[in-house]
């Protein structure tokens, strides 16, 4: 269900999106929907939402962020975030990038074919490693599940629906983990994977401001979404955060994007993004 | 002494829809005893014994209550009548396949000269009966399996299980029914179910998983039902192109509600009545017993039938309802009312009246609808006394309105809102009675008072319905 449905879905989405979207320019009232920020959103969802926000800000496309408890179910693919533009609804970063491109905005047009392929490979790496690790920690690590995931995920619902939905989601994720061979992994191995992923990203970034030198791309938005969320989210322990903190250029990269795209240029911070502070997130 | 066999009582159909016209009027079959050698008719008799043959798992106390009236009979005609009533009561329990009554003179040593024995020969239903069938509809095929355990513990309890496996959805229902011994109309019912509905007029898909318990009991001429229901409802868009208003309703909710309904039904038939009236009042209060949906819902249904000359019937109906959300959450699309369709306000498409968003109907929090019908037999009355009696022609005038109310405004403004933009229609058509449960209508309709956004069905409209205006 999980593994099979998505590629087919995005193919249809691509065709659908590129045909219709090109006609109209980006409207003023574009909206991004995500789960409730303070009491509901989980690490992985927050990372995805932040990545899309960063991407749209990099494209300089205004979007109003709306929090809904049922955002996950409103989304056509069942995953957050999704944007509502005109009468179009598009979910997740990949299709949103396509959609925005069809409207004439792109961050990766300046790249040559080799760079584009490289960018896609790194995006896959982030999705396969960081996103999966986040899901694993949220749903498969019992301590995190009990202390953080369960109360947050079930917060909008009353008994007994709250427990049912948590169980349903837990089984879904466990099935997915099994399907991709993560079922037998230990938490330690997952942290190792995160470390390796960060190492690869850190090496690729080197001393450049962004992954492809001067201009940010959707890869930068995606990496920022995940790393920033990991750095600022309080989990049951600090191990995940420490793994990322080992790479100073990645931290500087997160700060750079935060300063350039999430703070007003007159110096006052418009949003609540603050790197070293607690778990409050956009 | 003469022997009187009461086997001449016509056997009643056990269950299931009855397409014959016999039960249409539901009049009592008069028992006419045959004349035999000795005239017992006017003599006083005493029912000395009642025998049961064929009882297996059925408990004695259950049948004793049902036949106790037979002992009260004082002459033969009464014995026959009481025995017939007892037979009907036994059949109504739904635990016997067959019930036969034999009235005989008492043969025992202590027999009184005018003593009678009544023997009920019964055949119990099997412990487990099953059925399966296939259904096609809504771009979906499905297979329905049913299991029934009648008379589970010997006191007319019934357990039914239905499972439908479709190409798109599976649904199931498990229900347990327990009547009070000696008072079948007072009963208790427990249901467990999962149903999935697709509502194309709203581009909405709804999956309900729920549990409900209800108690039914009669008071004087009314039937009451008290019910508690806990439902986990999952709403979703039927297609990617569903309007955003529907998308916003997507997700899970839990409704826990207490409801009461009262029915007075003096009609002679539920589908094509010739006389009598129906009044149904429902009220539902959700939110005080848990869950995350809070509202108060009231609705009523009234139907009055009057027989005119030429075997024609004038029927008037009025429906109305109101939903008041409690607290600051707006009402859910799954709780609101819908109007329009081939058996409600005719001439409009199914549930396609009132508030809508991009062609998806959102339902309303208040509605009313009324109708006047003139039912007549088919012209030239083909198939009279048989198949033709399942059909009626009718001329109708329907009207109604569905809207949302602003509950700050007060009743006067509400009435004004409900009285403006009234949709109405008139026309004529043919009605076919399908058993005693549903009807099919083929009408020619002329919709009037159409508002912007309503979807109409101008001309021929065909449809089936259990509830009809």
Band (A280; pLDDT cuts 50, 70, 90): very low
Nearest to A161 among B240, B248, B252 (CB): B252
Structure tokens, B276? 């009598």
H or E element, residue B423 = strand B423-434
Q: How far is CA B5 from CA B42, B73, B103, B119, B345, in A?
A: 17, 17, 6, 10, 54
Residue B451 has a pLDDT of 87
The predicted model gives B239-267 an average pLDDT of 92
In this prediction, residue B1 has a pLDDT band, given cuts at 50, 70 and 90, of: very low
Query: Tokens 């466990």 belong to which residue?
Result: A174
pLDDT at A7: 43
pLDDT tens across B92-104, in order?
888 888 899 888 8
* Letter string b/e over residues A15-35, b meaning 16 or more CB atoms within 10 A of that residue's CB: ebbeeebeeeebeeebebbbb
Residue A258 contacts B, CB cutoff 8 Å: no
Task: Give the model's pLDDT for residue B25.
Answer: 42
The architecture in CATH of the region A113-262 reads: Up-down Bundle (1.20)
Round to whole Å and give the CA distance between B206 and A182. 34
Contacts of A262-266 with C-beta under 8 Å, sequence gap 24+, read: A262/A54, A262/A57
pLDDT band at residue B251, thresholds of 50, 70 and 90?
very high
Give counts: helices (H), strands (E), chain B: 5, 21
Which residue, chain included where needed, has tokens 């699309």?
B333
A contact test, residue of B248, B251, B359, B360 with most A CBs within 10 A: B251
As a whole number, mean pLDDT of residues A175-187 equals 92
Long-range contacts of A5-12 (CB under 8 A, 24+ apart): A6/A77, A9/A77, A10/A94, A10/A95
Query: Of A37, A50, A101, A90, whose CA–CA distance to A226 is shortest?
Result: A50
Compute the mean pLDDT over every residue in chain B, rounded to the nearest whole number. 85
List chain A residues with CB under 8 Å of B252: 70, 73, 157, 161, 165
pLDDT of A264 higher than 60: yes
Query: Is A73 in contact with B248 (Cβ distance < 8 A)?
Result: no
CA dist., res. B468 & res. B277, Å (int):
14
Q: How far is B286 from chain A (nearest CA, A)?
A: 14
Q: Is the pLDDT of residue A1 over 50?
A: no
A90 pLDDT more than 50: yes
Q: Which of A136-145, A158-167, B108-117 has the lowest mean pLDDT?
A: B108-117
Which stretches does DSSP call E strand in B125-169? 129-137, 140-150, 158-166
Do the strands B140-150 and B158-166 form a parallel or antiparallel pair, or are they unpaired? antiparallel
**For the ranges A125-134, B11-20, B392-401, which has the lowest average pLDDT?**
B11-20
**Within 10 Å of residue B96's Cβ, how many Cβ atoms?**
24
Cα end-to-end span (Å), chain A: 30
pTM: 0.81
Q: How many residues does chain B have?
A: 469
B232 contacts A70? CB cut-off 8 A? no
Q: Kindly state the average pLDDT of the residues A78-86.
A: 91
* Residue A89 near chain B (CB below 8 Å): yes
**Percentage of residues in chain B having pLDDT higher than 70:** 90
Residues B188-241 have pLDDT tens digits of: 999 999 998 888 899 999 999 999 999 999 998 899 999 999 999 999 998 888
Instruction: Kindly determine whether residue A89 and residue B236, on different chains, have CB atoms separated by under 8 Å.
Output: no
In this structure, are residues B148 and B129 in contact, taking their beta carbons and an 8 Å threshold?
yes
Domain A10-102 fold is Glutaredoxin (3.40.30)
Work out the number of other CB atoms within 10 angstroms of the CB of residue A280: 13
> What is the band of B311 on the pLDDT scale with cuts at 50, 70, 90?
confident
Structure tokens at B349: 């498409």
CB contact under 8 A, B251 and A84: no
Looking at residue B413, its pLDDT comes to: 82
pLDDT digits (tens, 9 = 90+) for A191-215: 999 999 999 999 999 899 999 988 8
Label residue B285 exposed, middle or buried (CB < 10 Å: 0-12, 13-18, 19+).
Answer: middle
With a threshold of 0.90, tell me whether the complex ipTM lies above it: no
- Residue B48's φ and ψ, nearest 5 degrees, are -85, -40
**Closest chain B residue by Cα to residue A77:** B240
- Whether the predicted pLDDT of A275 surpasses 60: no
Q: Is the pLDDT of residue B410 over 90?
A: no
Tens-digit pLDDT profile for residues A120-141 = 999 999 999 999 999 999 999 9
Would you list the domain boundaries of chain A? 10-102, 113-262
Q: Look at the alpha carbons of A261, A266, A267, A268 in this order and tell me if their dihedral is positive or negative.
A: negative
């Amino acid at each position: 269900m999980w593994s099979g449905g998505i590629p087919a879905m995005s193919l249809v989405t691509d065709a659908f999106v590129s045909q219709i979207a090109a006609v109209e320019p980006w409207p003023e009232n574009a909206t991004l929907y995500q789960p409730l920020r303070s009491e509901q959103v989980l690490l992985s969802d927050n990372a995805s939402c932040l990545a899309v926000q960063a991407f749209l800000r990099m494209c300089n496309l205004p979007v109003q962020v709306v929090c809904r408890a049922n955002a996950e179910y409103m989304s056509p693919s069942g995953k957050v975030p999704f944007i509502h533009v005109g009468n179009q609804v598009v979910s997740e970063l990949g299709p949103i990038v396509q959609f925005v491109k069809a409207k004439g905005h792109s961050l990766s047009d300046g790249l040559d074919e080799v760079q584009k392929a490289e960018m896609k490979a790194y995006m896959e790496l982030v999705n396969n490693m960081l996103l999966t690790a986040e899901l694993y920690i949220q749903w498969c690590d019992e301590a995190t599940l009990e202390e953080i995931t369960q109360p947050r995920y079930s917060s909008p619902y009353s008994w007994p629906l709250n427990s049912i939905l948590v169980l349903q989601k837990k089984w879904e994720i466990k099935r997915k983990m099994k399907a991709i061979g993560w079922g037998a992994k230990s938490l330690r191995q997952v942290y190792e994977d995160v470390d390796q992923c960060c190492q690869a990203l850190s090496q690729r970034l080197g001393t450049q401001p962004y992954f492809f030198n001067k201009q940010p791309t959707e890869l930068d938005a995606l990496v920022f979404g995940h790393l920033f969320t990991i750095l600022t989210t309080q989990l049951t322990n600090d191990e995940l955060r420490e793994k990322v903190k080992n790479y100073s250029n990645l931290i500087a990269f997160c700060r750079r994007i935060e300063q350039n795209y999430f703070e007003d240029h007159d110096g006052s911070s418009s949003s609540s993004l603050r790197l070293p502070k607690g778990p409050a997130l956009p | 002494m003469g022997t009187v066999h009461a086997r001449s009582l016509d056997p009643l159909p056990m269950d299931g829809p009855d397409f014959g016209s016999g039960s249409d009027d539901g009049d009592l079959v008069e028992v006419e005893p045959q004349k035999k050698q000795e005239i017992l008719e006017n003599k006083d008799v005493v029912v000395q014994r009642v025998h049961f043959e064929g009882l297996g798992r059925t408990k004695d106390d259950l049948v004793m209550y049902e036949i106790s009236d037979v002992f009260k009979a004082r002459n033969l005609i009464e014995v026959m009548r009481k025995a017939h009533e007892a037979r009907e009561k036994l059949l109504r329990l739904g635990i016997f396949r067959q019930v036969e009554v034999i009235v005989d003179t008492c043969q025992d040593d202590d027999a009184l000269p005018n003593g009678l024995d009544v023997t009920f020969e019964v055949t119990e239903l099997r412990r487990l009966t099953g059925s399966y069938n296939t259904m096609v509809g809504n771009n979906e095929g499905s297979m329905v399996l049913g299991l029934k355990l009648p008379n589970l513990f010997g006191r007319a309890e019934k357990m039914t299980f239905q499972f439908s496996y479709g190409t798109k959805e599976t649904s199931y229902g498990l229900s347990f029914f327990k009547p009070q011994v000696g008072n079948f109309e007072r009963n208790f019912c427990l249901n467990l179910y999962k149903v999935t509905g697709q509502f194309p007029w709203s581009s909405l898909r709804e999956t309900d998983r729920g549990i409900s318990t209800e108690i039914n009991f009669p008071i004087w001429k009314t039937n009451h039902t008290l019910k508690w229901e806990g439902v986990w409802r999952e709403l979703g868009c039927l297609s990617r192109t569903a309007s955003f208003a529907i998308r916003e309703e997507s997700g899970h909710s839990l409704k826990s509600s207490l409801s009461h309904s009262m029915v007075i039904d003096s009609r002679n038939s539920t589908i094509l009545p010739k006389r009598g009236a129906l009044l149904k009042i429902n009220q539902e209060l959700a939110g005080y017993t848990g869950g995350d949906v809070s509202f108060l819902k009231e609705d009523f249904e009234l139907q009055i039938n009057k027989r005119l000359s030429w075997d024609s019937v004038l029927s008037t109906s009025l429906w109305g309802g109101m939903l008041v959300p409690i607290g600051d959450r707006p009402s859910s699309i799954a709780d609101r009312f819908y109007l329009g369709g081939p058996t409600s306000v005719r001439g409009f498409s199914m549930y396609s009246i009132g508030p809508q968003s991009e062609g998806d109907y959102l339902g309303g929090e208040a509605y009313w609808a009324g109708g006047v019908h003139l039912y007549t037999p088919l012209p030239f009355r083909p198939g009279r006394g048989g198949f033709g009696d399942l059909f009626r022609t009718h001329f109708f005038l329907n009207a109604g309105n569905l809207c949302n109310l602003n509950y700050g405004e007060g009743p006067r403004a509400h009435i004004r809102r409900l009285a403006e933009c009234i949709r109405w229609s008139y026309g004529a058509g043919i009605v076919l009675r399908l058993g005693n449960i549903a009807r099919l209508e083929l009408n020619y309709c002329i919709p009037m008072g159409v508002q912007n956004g309503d979807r109409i069905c101008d001309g021929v409209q065909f449809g089936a319905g259990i509830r009809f205006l």
